[in-house]
Structure 1
Amino acid sequence: MSTKDVLIVGAGPTGLVLALWLQRQGISFRIVDQGSSPAQNSRALVVHARILELYRQLDLADELLSHGYKLPATNVWVDGQHCARIPLGEFGTGMTPYPFLLIIPQDKHEEILEKRLNSLGIFVERRKKLEKFLDDGSGIYATLVGEDDGTESTCESAYIAGCDGAHSAVRHTIGAKYEGETYAPFFYIADVETEDQESPFYNGEAHLTFADNLFNLIIPLAQKRRIRLVGTTIPKGSDQPIDDSHPPPELTLESVLPNIKKTSGIAIKNTNWFSAYRCHHRVADKFREGRAFLVGDAAHIHSPVGGQGMNTGIMDAINLAWKLASVIKQPSMPEESRNKLLDSYQSERRSFALSVVGATDHGFTVLTSPGFFSHMLRTWIIPYLAPIVTRFQSTRSEIFRRGSQLVCSYRDSPINQSDNNGGKIQPGDRLPWAETETSDNFSTLSGISWQVQVYGEGSQDLAKWCRKRNAELAVFKWESRHDQVGLKKNVAYLLRPDHYVAGIFDRDFESEMDEYFSSRCLQLLGPR
């Protein structure tokens, strides 16, 4: 039997991120996965700005950027006619240090994460399946089975995190319902190499093509002549009522080539990967049961529209990691306070997952519905209205804010400051990004720890309080840019380890922050 603080089940991007963030905070864990190797194909492609911001904490953002591709624009085609070009390059200008859409295949993404974990002397235990686990209220007792030899072993841990995908064993064990629906169309994804380099679809930009009720999305990969091809189809016999208990019809690239020819006409030379499946949109009715947590696809799955699924799961992992570390490092924390902090994972992340699923469901319906209104949206409204409205910076900013997950906010979180002074920025919001003369206000957020930021002048008493409580203090010279993004002068912003504002204090800084931590039985754990 082995004993760890956390047992992580599943080693996709979500599980690997959870492992890295726990390790950085000094938490012991095991990470197991049923598969024999990391991802071998491109799968999820998009890494959004909010993830890159958080990756700065572990100095991972620059490495992803070096292997990724910044998507410059999206083009819209209807029945073979080019209707619109929407530049994406700097949609998020002034909002984030990463004002673009980064394309990086999931296999490369996972490789970077796992390589970092390995450099710390930690390795994924592969070909290990979670057979069952027992939560007795004081700990987790999990039975693991080796897929190669059937050998059973037991792992005792304080907590278990199910990062084990849509068919999660952890979710089944805690009895969480997986509520939602299955879409009628089949979704196919192909990673292909192309032949005709003179085609307008091979210009390094994305292309959304419509023909009748069909569509193709063409996304360039960093490698020359390779593209991601996405589309939907309804095979013969699959237009009957959906029954997930029966295997779906088998689809091949050859079976969808007529659709591809009709929508885009691209010539395919080689196929590196092809996958077809029915999409679902589902959210578990609970993300926590006792000492067990659901993270990523185990808790929610989405249509692929907008590339939100993997990014949402990574955000789950980072949210959970600092909360688990807080309770594990504070064994004397009262049970009520411990539960309040851990329950905030569910209240914060489930609410956001529901909003993301709603948005992606609407987008997928527009792209795939055979109805008249959806047809009009695809062939007239989107192609001709989108270029007009995206000329305005306010529209571009709002689109980017929502698509890149900068919109994520926890204003209703039970761990926020109870009273606040109003204003544009509220407890639960992401700290707004602002450039400084030499860098930006995110440059001080490298530690996974609580931090106090002041824009203007920080008092000696506040500096003394931070030293005494083991909190970082960052004071930035006041600039007009700070006012423009909603920050207030000479106000103390208390930041959680995941960069969200926990409280805003503009009067008696020290006593109000003392009250914040004491009423929640939280300790200010220093950076690592």
Structure 2
Amino acid sequence: MDPVIVVGAGPVGLAMALALARHEVPSIVLDQGSGVCPEGPRSTVIGTETAAFLERLGYPRAASDAARWERLSVWRRRQEVLQLDLADHPVLHLPQHRLQRGLRDAATATALVQLVPHARVEEIDQDRDGVGVRSRHSQDGSDTWWRASHLVGCDGARSSVRKLLGIRFPGRPAVDRHAIATVRVDLPFAGEARLHREPPWRGDREASARPLPDGLWRLDWRLPPSRPAADAPADPHATWPGLVTGDTLVTRVKSTLTGWCGQLPRYELLAAADHTAQHRLAARFRSGRCFLAGDAAHLHGALGMQNLVDGLRDVDNLAWRLACAWHLHSGGPQPGGSLLDGSLLDGYEAERRGAVGARLRAVDQAMPLLRPLRGWAHTRRSLLTGSFRKHAPMLTDGLLGTGRFGGAPAYPAAPSGVPTQRGAGRGTALTESLPATAPGVLVPDLPVLTTDGTPDRLYARLGSTFLLLLVAPGTTVWSAERWLGAGLMPRLAEVAAALPVPAEVLVTEEYPGAGAHTVLLVRPDGHLVGVTQGARAEDLQELAARARGGPVPLAGAER
């Protein structure tokens, strides 16, 4: 079976290769660049879900390479409008170059991942059995043909893969503009991220400070709205000359630091850039055996939204689907394989494109409230009437990775078949209490026990198989020898082995809202498929078949 080709070796491309390797699927990563990860001002905010995902990929340093925020405060002029204590809601701020280096180290150490630098994709040729890719070496000009089962374009906003596939990339070219700087400085609010609207010093509409590791801070300033030139590239990281260079940037840094500290502290300016937040959504995320992920598929970033985190969610959603399809055909074509591939793989576009589209619509609705466009007089009246205080919590969603702007999405029913009913298949009713998690929603991280009695966390078990999670109060009171062969465990193990997807059985003491003997079927990306009461083989078979995209077994059919 041919490997999967991943185009682009940024964080999303490397994560895709590592996620496939976790499913024992080989990949070739074609990277137009040299593989060097230079330091820069770009960074990303990640929560518990994303940190656990990165750790599963083989990057356990994500938490130690990041700064943990203790508080987030929102200010207007000299008044604090909102303060959030983040002690119980871990938020990590990670420099992107550290993330990319950590993922590259993990990919280099993985035999299933082949990294190919200086390889620009020039041609894509699909047929019913696979994908042919021609790359050109940027140094000697030589061409190489590669053969793959599938191709994933993770090659950024100016994606060659997207252009070669003829997929449109419509959207808004300039939603928010920011100047960004990385500064080494001691600020009087250590451990606190601060968003300052209409600061008391003159010249800035909005400034923010977010702590980074090693005594560094990322400073952001929102710039006046402006449109790029008609021929400006669709690249959110492209630099516009004159915006944050020379005296303008130094003046901005000095006035901001003086405003926060009372006097100008000693500081060291390490890096700077300007950033234009574009809102774009590819017309399709799939074309035959080719897929788009990350910046190649979507761009957003207004109101602090984290496009990179959504790119990693693309990876988590697509990798298990590709692995199912790849392993299905690794022994040769099988009856019904094309039907399964179509439904299973179409689910990626339905879910991820729908989730990102919902985010973009949410921002479009919120922008008039948070970014008044009728001039300074209207903005001043809006702030003075209290609307800013009312809407300030919305400003924190993107920065913290929560809510409509940043939280994990809930996937509705899609071709991949997340059932819309909480009950089991064929209308079976649950009279017992239902879990608080609805189908399609990301499950919470919980302490679990494996079938050999080993304690672990639920998120640590995600990624490679489906999970059958049994709610069994009192389990930790008994030794594993007592409960492994008792109650539902033997039957549940038999059911797991017979499912049409690889599945692991886990046990938890309690699950929010769920009664004893509730069994939850969880996808490899952590989203709930459905629920049964007890080890109901037919119901779990149906749920697994729907999630995999295959035909649903008929009642009474031979299994």
Shorter-chain TM-score: which interval? 0.7 to 0.9
| Pair 1:69 & 2:82 matched | no
Change (3 A) 1:184 1:85: closer
* 1:417 partnered with 2:403: no
Length-normalised TM-score, structure 1: 0.83
1:486 maps to 513
Point out the more displaced range, 501-510 or 350-359: 501-510
Shift of 1:323: 0.3
* Partner AA of 1:464 in structure 2: E
Tell which deviates more after alignment, 12-21 or 297-306.
297-306
2:465 maps to which of 446, 449, 454: 449
Which amino acid letter does the alignment assign opposite residue 452 of structure 1? L
**2:495 matched residue in structure 1:** 465
Instruction: Indicate the SS of the match to 1:172.
Output: helix
CA distance in 1, matches of 2:160, 2:256: 40
Q: Match for 1:462: what amino acid?
A: L
Pick the aligned partner of 1:109 from 99, 103, 110.
99
For residues 446 and 162 of structure 1, the distance between their equivalents in structure 2, rounded to whole angstroms, comes to 24
SS in 1 for 2:61: helix
- 2: CA distance between counterparts of 1:319 and 1:436? 23
CA contact (8 A) 1:305 1:363 kept: no
TM-score normalized with structure 2 length: 0.79
Residue 225 of structure 2 corresponds to residue 244 of structure 1: no
The structure-2 alpha-carbon separation of the partners of 1:259 and 1:180, relative to structure 1 and needing over 3 Å to count, comes to same
Q: Paired residue for 2:182?
A: 191
How far apart, in 2, do the equivalents of 1:127 and 1:366 lie?
Answer: 45
1:208 equivalent in structure 2: 195
Alignment of 1:290-439 (within 5 A): 290-331=288-329, 332=334, 333-360=336-363, 368-371=371-374, 374-375=379-380, 381=386, 384=389, 401-402=402-403, 405-414=406-415, 415-417=417-419, 419-421=421-423, 423=434, 424-435=436-447
**8 Å CA contact 1:426, 1:504 repeated in 2:** no
Q: Relative contact order, CA 8 A, sep 6+: which one is greater? A: 1
Please tell me whether the aligned partners of residues 150 and 289 of structure 2 are also in contact (alpha carbons under 8 angstroms).
yes
- Corresponding position: 1:89 with 2:91: no
Q: Note the aligned Cα RMSD (angstroms).
A: 3.3
After superposition, the Cα gap between the structure-2 partners of 1:123 and 1:43, relative to the gap in structure 1 and judged at 3 Å, is: farther
User: Over residues 413-441 of structure 1, what are the superposed CA-to-partner deviations in whole Å (9 max), with x where a residue is unaligned?
Assistant: 23223654274433212123345799665
Shift of 1:249: 4.8
Asked whether 1:475 is paired with 2:472, we answer no
* Residue pair 1:185, 1:232 contacting (<8 A) in 2 also: yes
SS at match of 1:280: strand
Which of 266-275 and 30-39 deviates more? Answer: 266-275
Structure 1 partner of 2:475: none
Structure 1 counterpart of 2:444, which letter?
P
Bigger mean CA deviation after superposition, 421-430 or 279-288: 421-430
1:58 shift after superposition: 3.8
CA distance in 2, matches of 1:36, 1:340: 37
Q: Compute the displacement of 1:227 (Å).
A: 1.2
Deviation at 1:328, TM superposition (A): 0.7
Change (3 A) 1:274 1:86: same
CA distance in 2, matches of 1:11, 1:377: 45
1:221 aligns with one of 203, 212, 222? 212
- Percent sequence identity is 23
Conserved in 2, the CA contact under 8 Å of 1:191 and 1:273?
yes
Match of 1:49 in 2: 48
- For residues 447 and 323 of structure 1, do their structure 2 counterparts lie closer, same or farther at Cα, with a shift above 3 Å needed? closer
| Residue 461 of structure 1, CA deviation | 2.4
> 1:89/1:19 Cα in 2 relative to 1: closer, same or farther (>3 Å)?
same
Q: Deviations over 1:288-332 (max 9, x none)?
A: 010110000101001253342100000101111110010010022
Which amino acid in the other structure matches residue 205 of structure 1? E
In structure 2, do the counterparts of structure 1 residues 277 and 468 end up closer, same or farther at CA, with 3 Å as the change threshold? closer
Q: Which residue, out of 113, 121, 146, partners 1:130?
A: 121
Structure 1 stretch displaced more, 46-55 or 428-437 = 428-437
The answer to which of 336-345 and 325-334 deviates more is: 325-334
Indicate if the aligned counterparts of 2:46 and 2:401 stay in contact, CA closer than 8 A. Answer: no
Q: What letter corresponds to residue 357 of structure 2 in structure 1?
A: L
| Partner AA of 2:86 in structure 1 | G
Residues 4 and 505 of structure 1: is their aligned pair in 2 closer, same or farther, counting only changes over 3 Å?
Answer: same
Q: CA deviation at 1:347?
A: 0.4
Structure-1 residue corresponding to 2:482: none
Q: Is the 8 A contact 1:301 1:357 kept in 2?
A: no
SS in 2 for 1:63: coil
